[in-house]
Amino acid sequence: MRLTSRPAGRAAAGETAVRERGVPGTPLRAALVLGLLLGFYVLALLLLVALAVLDVFLARDGSFTLMAVEGYLGSLAIAWCVVRVVLLSRGPGDGQDEVPGVSPAPQEQPELWRRVRDLAERVGTRPPTEIRVIPGANAMVREDARWLGLAAGERRLFLGVALLIGLPDDELDAVLAHELGHYAHDDTRLGGLLWALHGRLLHTTHTLRQRAAREEAEEQARAAARAARRRAAGKPPPVKREPTRGPDHYLALVFSGYARLCLRLTEAVSRRQEYAADLVAARIAGRDTTAAALRRIPVLDAADDLYLREYALMGRDAGLLPPEGQFHGGLALLLADPARRADLEAWARGPLPEVVPEERSPYDSHPPTADRIAVLEALPDDGRAATLPRRPALALLREPERLLARLERAVLSRETLSWRRVPWAELPAQTRRESWAREAGPLLGAMAQAAGARGAAASGATHLDHLGRVDHLDHHDHHDHHDHLGRLLDLVDHGLLYDIAGRLPRSEQAGRSSGRAARESARTAFRSALRQLALLTALDTGLCRWELCWSGPPLRAVAPVQFTEALEEALDHAVADPPGTGPLRALLSGGVRAPTASWAGPRTAPSAASRPTRPPAQPPASSGGLYPKDPV
């Protein structure tokens, strides 16, 4: 009963013919579902009866032959499978699974509730008793009906937060009217029953297949063990036999056939229900608005996916989260970006994807969105154009930030919630910093060891003692990286490069080499780690900035012109023989200056606490203004 959750593109062939026949009435549908559920058990009993009849037929012959014994044993085995799997095993539980989300009470969100109740009145049905805001771009309704769906029960409406954020309020009306239309047509009454049927079927076929696979694997293991025994005894390998399949395999075939039949029947009905609910939505919200909502939802769904993957979870490796309430709410920022908005609008208005006939499946619970829009657009014009100006549906919510924060707490795991919250503007830089610090960590460790060893050996070299003081490496202390890099380069200048590089963890391949080749491998490893440390320093000193970009790839680096090339060259010099650390020092300390060019996107104010104060430095003569560039 979702409005939609998948891109258009699959559905049953000949849908139009089905559509004209309309939706069967509730009693008829209840009888269908109930019949199918009973049919499942009847099928199992039929199998048992057939086996019993076979046995009686065998026994009637009177003569007690080898064939008859085999027959009895075989029928017993099959009967046991049927009883064990089909009748005795418990399903995954009778209740439908809970969807994590937040259910605001009517007094908390009066506007939203009022809107839903108004719409329910206009549709002509009883309003839900619970509205639950869930993640994603989905809407669905449920009803905990009693008496096998013949008596009404408690109604619940599930509303995806992406719909609230991304839809204008008249289109949200269309979505709500569609869902309430399902109530009005009593489509939800049979939800529990349907759920029980599907669960039963799924569980049975799944168990049978699992048992069949296990049996096959066991037989193969036995055959392998036998072959191994024969090999050990010096005998030729046993004759290859076709694997014999147990009764589970054949039972699985029978029951999956039945499951396919059930799905075909019930999903055909639910597809027709979607068309009927669309008609309700068109009546309440207007034809064009409903069609627009249908077009927009797949786009929103994709945008929400992208947003969660690329933005909300940007710091997952570093253990960072956007600010409270922004994990889902940040989608609004993405949608507010002009470039993104233009992209998404063009997509929503663009031609609908062709529905390939092979992709239509008789098992889909929803008709393809393209078909639904086509049906809506074939309706007579109701003269109701989209109302302007349009308000975002989020305006229906009172204190949306609190609701979004509650949603986060309900949806995210305890571990994720323990991650550090970072303002959006700092999220990219912090994420980078964490990963670079992790990669540069072994280098700092090796440097401390090497400096310590050298300091102990070289008596009187006081400056080396000082260099050896890299005792505690706190990666979050930004002052340290610059100092660490300086000290590391000092050590390199003192000819300790190979000493440090030799202490870095070695790859398996490098471990096998020796002599000069081993030294070169160590130098390569040293250079990559030094690169991470240099980038970290560039980030900390403000030479490079990592900015959040809502319109394109989420991360955008702002670095001086030619920074990447200059860095690679400077690194080459630093690891050369003899080492020249001058270029790297100059590159990382010379380019610090205030930005001269304005840049797109939200201006990120660096928090004073997180950045070291530094004297204003002269820009090097060679570099121009800031230039968006990816130094990685």
Partner 1 sequence: MNVLIDIAGAGILAYSAVTVPRNARKARALRAEAKAKAPVNIDPAKYGLVPAAQLDSRFAGPDPEADAVAQAALAGDWRRAAAYLAGAGRDWDLRWYRLGILTHAAAEDDTWLKAWRTEYPGDPAAALVHADALVDLAGKVRGAKLAKHTTAEQFEGFHRLLAEALPACQEAAWMAPEDPCPWIAQISIALGLGWSHDDFRALWAEITARDPHHFGAHISALQYWCAKWRGSHELMYAFAEQAAVTAPQGSLLPVLRLYGLMEHAFREPKEPVYRQPFVQAAVDATLDAVEWAPAGHHRLPMVRHLLAEALFQTDRYAEAVEQFRAVGGYVGSPPWSYSANPVKAFVFARTNTFVAWEKAGCPAPPPRGRALGY
- Residue 341 in the binding site for partner 1 (CB under 8 A): no
What is the C-alpha separation between 543 and 545, in angstroms, rounded? 7
- Judged by beta carbon, residue 473 or residue 510, the one nearer partner 1 is 510
Based on CB atoms, which residue is closest to partner 1, 13 or 517? 517
CA distance 190 to 201: 16
| Cβ-based nearer residue to partner 1, 63 or 613 | 63
Q: Which stretch binds partner 1 (CB under 8 A): 163-171, 369-377, 449-457, 504-512?
A: 504-512
| Of the residues 16, 418, 507, 596, which one makes contact with partner 1 according to CB under 8 A | 507
The 3-state DSSP class for residue 191 equals helix
Binding status of residue 63 toward partner 1 by CB under 8 A:
yes
CB of 531 to partner 1, least distance (A): 10
Stretch that binds partner 1, among 138-146, 310-318, 515-523, 605-613 (CB under 8 A): 515-523
Compute the C-alpha angle 320/323/324, nearest 5°: 115
Question: Candidates 26-34, 97-105, 118-126, 509-517 — which segment interacts with partner 1 by CB under 8 A?
Answer: 509-517
- In angstroms, rounded to a whole number, what is the distance separating the alpha carbons of residues 352 and 347? 9
462 in contact with partner 1 (CB under 8 A):
no
| 452 and 471 Cβ atoms separated by less than 8 Å | no
Asked if residues 115 and 173 have their Cβ atoms less than 8 Å apart, the reply is yes
Q: Pick the piece of the chain touching partner 1 (CB under 8 A) from 119-127, 282-290, 414-422, 506-514.
A: 506-514
Q: Which is nearer to partner 1, 507 or 596 (CB)?
A: 507
Q: Tokens standing for 224?
A: 């392998």
Q: Could you give the string, one character per residue 516-555, with x where binding to partner 1 holds by CB under 8 A and - elsewhere?
A: xx--xx-xxx-xx---------------------------
- For residue 78 the two structure tokens come to 């099959």
**Residue 346 interacts with partner 1 (CB under 8 A): yes or no:** no
Give the range of 196-204, 358-366, 446-454, 511-519 binding partner 1 by CB under 8 A. 511-519
- Residue 515: CB minimum distance to partner 1, A: 5
**C-beta of 236: minimal distance to partner 1 in Å?**
4
Q: Which is closer to partner 1, CB of 526 or CB of 550?
A: 526
AA identity, residue 293: A
Min dist. Cβ of residue 68 to partner 1 (A): 10
When asked if residue 233 is in the footprint of partner 1 (CB under 8 A), the reply is no
Tell me the window of 41-49, 193-201, 232-240, 457-465 that interacts with partner 1 (CB under 8 A): 232-240
239 binds partner 1 (CB under 8 A): yes
Single out the residue of 559, 445, 418 nearest to residue 503, CA to CA: 445
Q: What is the CA radius of gyration of the chain?
A: 34
Rounded CA-CA distance 586/617 in Å is: 12
- Interactions with partner 1, residue window 556-585 (CB under 8 A): 572
Whichever of 314 and 574 has its CB closer to partner 1, that residue is 574
Shortest separation between residue 510's beta carbon and partner 1, angstroms: 7
CA distances from 163 to 136, 175, 304, 440 (A): 8, 9, 10, 43
Q: Total number of residues binding partner 1 (CB under 8 A)?
A: 23
C-alpha separations of 333 from 188, 190, 330, 410, 581 in Å: 35, 40, 5, 22, 43
Q: Is residue 38 within 8 Å of residue 80, measured between CB atoms?
A: no
Strand intervals (E) in 34-150: 130-134, 139-146
Structure tokens that stand for 409 in this block: 């707490």
Per the structure block, which two tokens stand in for 571? 């690194």
State yes or no: residue 236 binds partner 1 (CB under 8 A): yes
Structure-block tokens of residue 106: 């009517």
Q: Which is nearer to partner 1, 65 or 210 (CB)?
A: 65
d(C-alpha 144, C-alpha 192), whole Å: 7
Tokens 């930005």, located at residue: 595
Collapsed DSSP state (helix, strand, coil) of residue 180:
helix
CA atoms within 13 A on the CB side of 540: 24
Least Å from the CB of residue 226 to partner 1: 14
Binding site for partner 1 (CB under 8 A): 63-66, 235-237, 239, 507, 509-510, 513, 515-517, 520-521, 523-525, 527-528, 572
